Amino acid sequence: MAVVTIRQMLDAGVHFGHQTQRWNPKVKRFILTERSGIHIIDLQQSLAHIDNAYDFVKETVARGGSILFVGTKKQAQESIAAEAIRVGQPYVNQRWLGGLMTNFQTVLGRLERMKELEQLDFSDTTKGFTKKELLMKRRELEKLHKSLGGIRNLTKTPSAMWIVDAKREHLAIDEAKKLGIPVIGILDTNADPDDIAYPIPGNDDAIRSVALLTRVIADAVAEGLIKRHEKPAEAGNVSAVEPLAEWERELLEQSNAAAEAPAAAAAEVVEAPAAAEAPAADAAAE
């Protein structure tokens, strides 16, 4: 079963590329045609690449990995944060800080500083801080929340990265290459396919297109989490014996409910003929 349909992609405008003069010749194989000076992306190829990326993300998360969602352009900020939070993954939707991955130990220090500031009571001036000092600390905390709030629970470099705009997020891609982190991303007609391990040909400028493709990747993460917790604890899967977070429990309950619904319907179909046959059998006995 396809994780997304051609109709959904058409409605979201995934097939629209950039103007013909703003293209990268390396993406020629993904372009179907040209219309009104705009390249049209072949959605059949996009569908195949979505399936590949979906399977990779699902298996990566099932093995205990994490996916870093990256999208700092205005069209992507809201959907990146919403979908990453929905499946409990780290995200960056503000400016990418240079060295965020390659200098991760320093970043961990700033995360500790952020958590330390969160323990302060900024309305209490009796704890040894003046009003001016508390104001400066509050501003520092707000700045840390804005730049690092999405990765507050990240304790090591991610297993893979989901990137919305490969040209805009070139710093993130460069750092991922240095560390050998696979990149899954939207490949628009102006981007370089060599930068992305799992490219999905599509429109990275339309809000609906970005939201649709980001949701697909988040769904893959959710399925991977469910698969991770279904593995037996005897196989060395630590996550199977750890208590589930509330959002993980909700995902598992939704999955179980979806699986039980067809079985319940089938049971009703089987019971209906049996109920109809019972009166007939009683009449024959009399």
Query: Average model confidence (pLDDT) for the chain?
Result: 83
Q: What is the pTM of this model?
A: 0.78
Of residues 236 and 22, more confidence is placed in 22
Quote the pLDDT of residue 134: 86
Quote the pLDDT of residue 43: 93
Tell me which residue of 52, 53, 51 sits closest to 185, measured CA to CA. 53
Quote the pLDDT of residue 256: 53
DSSP state for residue 163 in the 8-state scheme: E
pLDDT by residue (tens digit) across 137-174?
989 999 999 989 899 888 899 999 999 999 999 999 99
pLDDT by residue (tens digit) across 71-112?
999 999 999 999 999 999 999 998 899 899 999 999 999 999
Quote the pLDDT of residue 247: 55
User: Confidence band (pLDDT; 50, 70, 90) for 270?
Assistant: very low
User: Confidence band (pLDDT; 50, 70, 90) for 241?
Assistant: very low
Flag whether pLDDT at 266 surpasses 50.
no
Tell me which residue of 30, 41, 44, 34 sits closest to 193, measured CA to CA. 30
Quote the pLDDT of residue 250: 61
User: Confidence band (pLDDT; 50, 70, 90) for 257?
Assistant: low
Flag whether pLDDT at 64 surpasses 50.
yes
Quote the pLDDT of residue 120: 83
How far is the C-alpha of 211 from the C-alpha of 78, rounded, in Å? 9
User: Confidence band (pLDDT; 50, 70, 90) for 275?
Assistant: very low
Whether 215 and 226 have beta carbons less than 8 Å apart is answered as: no
Q: What sign does the CA torsion over 256, 262, 265, 266 have?
A: negative
Q: How many CB atoms lie within 10 A of CB 249?
A: 12
Quote the pLDDT of residue 130: 82
How far is the C-alpha of 174 from the C-alpha of 158, rounded, in Å? 15
Task: Report the share of the chain in percent with pLDDT over 90.
Answer: 62
Point out the least confidently predicted range of 11-20, 194-203, 232-241: 232-241
Of residues 187 and 252, more confidence is placed in 187
Flag whether pLDDT at 115 surpasses 50.
yes
Q: Which two tokens stand for residue 183?
A: 């990149």
Task: Report the share of the chain in percent with pLDDT over 70.
Answer: 79
Scored b (16 or more CB within 10 A) or e, 33-66 reads: eeeeebbebebebbbebbeebbebbbebbbeebb
